Amino acid sequence: MSWWMSLVVDCVGGDECPEHDDHEIYSWNYTHNTNRMLRLATGHGGHLAKIDGLTAAEAEPLIWDAINYLEYDENRAELDALEPPNGWGSREGICAVLAHMAAACVAAPLARFSGPRG
């Protein structure tokens, strides 16, 4: 199983999307095996649920906080103990996904997050 998160823009008609619909411009998914790491990194009970509905500009600092926690050497032993024994997912892998999300925030600061689903 994995979670799925999207960055969407509101559309009002036009050729790109149906009237009054959302248009997904970025999307990510990653294994649930790293949820315990994300809970530690985000400081709340539901991994990335805190950014659901936020604009990219609002979410970007929260994403960087999670990346910084995951990459901080003093947290490494605790996080390494949470590495999935089946090899599906890793601290490095979730950091890479979060870095892509942070870059998307810079590219589309007015878009909003939808998710996580899954």
- Whether the Cβ atoms of residue 34 and residue 91 lie closer than 8 Å to each other: yes
Name the residue ranges covered by the structural domains of the chain. 2-117
The neighbour count for residue 5, using CB atoms within 10 Å, is 22
- Whether the Cβ atoms of residue 65 and residue 51 lie closer than 8 Å to each other: no
Q: How far apart are CA 108 and CA 7, in angstroms?
A: 9
The answer to whether the pTM exceeds 0.85 is no
**pLDDT tens for each residue of the chain, 118 residues long:** 677 788 888 655 455 554 555 678 888 888 888 888 888 888 755 557 788 889 999 999 999 998 998 998 888 899 999 999 998 999 999 999 999 999 999 998 989 898 776 5
